[in-house]
Every structure is written in C-alpha cells, then in structure tokens.
Amino acid sequence: MLTGDRVETGTTIAISAGLKSRQNELYFITDHMDKVELLQKLADFKKKATNRILIIDGRTLDTILDSTEATHAFYEGAMLAPCLCVCRCSPTQKAEVVRLLKKFSNGKRIAAVGDGGNDVSMILEADVGIGICGKEGM
C-alpha cells in the first residue's frame, strides 16, 4: 500500500483494510536513517518477513533508493512480506516503487489503484492501472 498519509493513518488504513492478520507483527522503519543502520534494520526485518508487515516512510524510502545495496535488501524483504505499507510518499516515489516491484517480482503482474491526481504516475507505471472516482481533495 502506497499512501501520502502519515504513518499512523497509513497503518490504521492497512489494518482496517485487512492487510494485516492477527498473526502479523508490525515492523516500522521510519525516520531518515543512515545507510548502515538501514541495512541492519532491513536484515532484521527479513529474518521474519513472512510474519511481518513492513511500514516505512518517504524519507526512509529516499535513503533506500539512493543505494543499490539498500534497494536490493529492501525488495528482497518486501517481496517476502504479506504487506508493505509506504507512508508519506510522493507521486514520484509511488511510481518508482511500482517500477521496482515489477523488476524484483520475477515477472509477476503489478496492479495499482488510485483515486487522485497524485496517483497517475503510479497507475501508468503498473501493468494494470486502475483509477477510481473518489472524494480525495473534496
């Protein structure tokens, strides 16, 4: 789930939407970190990724995308997790996450659903893009 909402709001939405089961643990990697600390957190997440929901923010995503090593570590873990929730991300970041999901998913089709103008680049980047009529901004 990619959202521009705050971490707290995004987490609540993910839980309400049923993206987290009772067995899943929430694992937060938020607040801009240095590369070494980030790689340690990603390695820790990956140990139990199949039972964890990864929640990151846009600043952390920037740090991840600035490093090839961190990008690979991030997607290796994210592909194992039942859910990834990226909060406070920009339209450009949304499109980049979808592009890299396509790259790291071994040929799986990626769908993106959005309800506002800030989702257009993400929808266009996906294999299947769905724009819905919402009340965003009203």
- Report if residue 95 sits inside a domain: no
% of the chain surpassing 70 pLDDT: 96
- Asked if 134 and 116 touch (Cβ cutoff 8 Å), the reply is yes
- Asked if 104 and 73 touch (Cβ cutoff 8 Å), the reply is no
Q: Which DSSP helix (H) or strand (E) runs through 73?
A: helix 68-78
Structure tokens at 120: 């257009």
| Confidence at 107, pLDDT banded by 50, 70, 90 | confident
- Report if residue 136 sits inside a domain: no
Contacts of 129 (CB under 8 A, 6+ apart): 111, 112, 114, 122, 123
- Report if residue 28 sits inside a domain: yes
- Asked if 39 and 70 touch (Cβ cutoff 8 Å), the reply is yes
Q: What is the pLDDT of residues 73-96, one digit of tens each?
A: 999 999 999 999 999 999 999 999
Angstrom distance (rounded) from CA 121 to CA 89: 13
- Report if residue 129 sits inside a domain: no
| Confidence at 137, pLDDT banded by 50, 70, 90 | low
7: pLDDT strictly greater than 90:
yes
Q: What is the pLDDT of residues 33-79, one digit of tens each?
A: 789 999 999 999 999 999 999 999 999 999 999 999 999 999 999 99
- Report if residue 51 sits inside a domain: yes
Q: CB-side exposure of 90: number of CA atoms within 13 Å?
A: 7
The structural domain count of the chain equals 1
Angstrom distance (rounded) from CA 97 to CA 125: 9
Look at residues 121, 119, 122 and name the one whose alpha carbon lies nearest to residue 136: 119
Residue 11 CB coordination number (10 Å): 21
Q: What confidence score (pLDDT) does residue 135 get? A: 66
Domain enclosing residue 78, as ranges: 7-89
**Residue range 87-109: mean pLDDT, rounded:** 92
| Confidence at 134, pLDDT banded by 50, 70, 90 | low
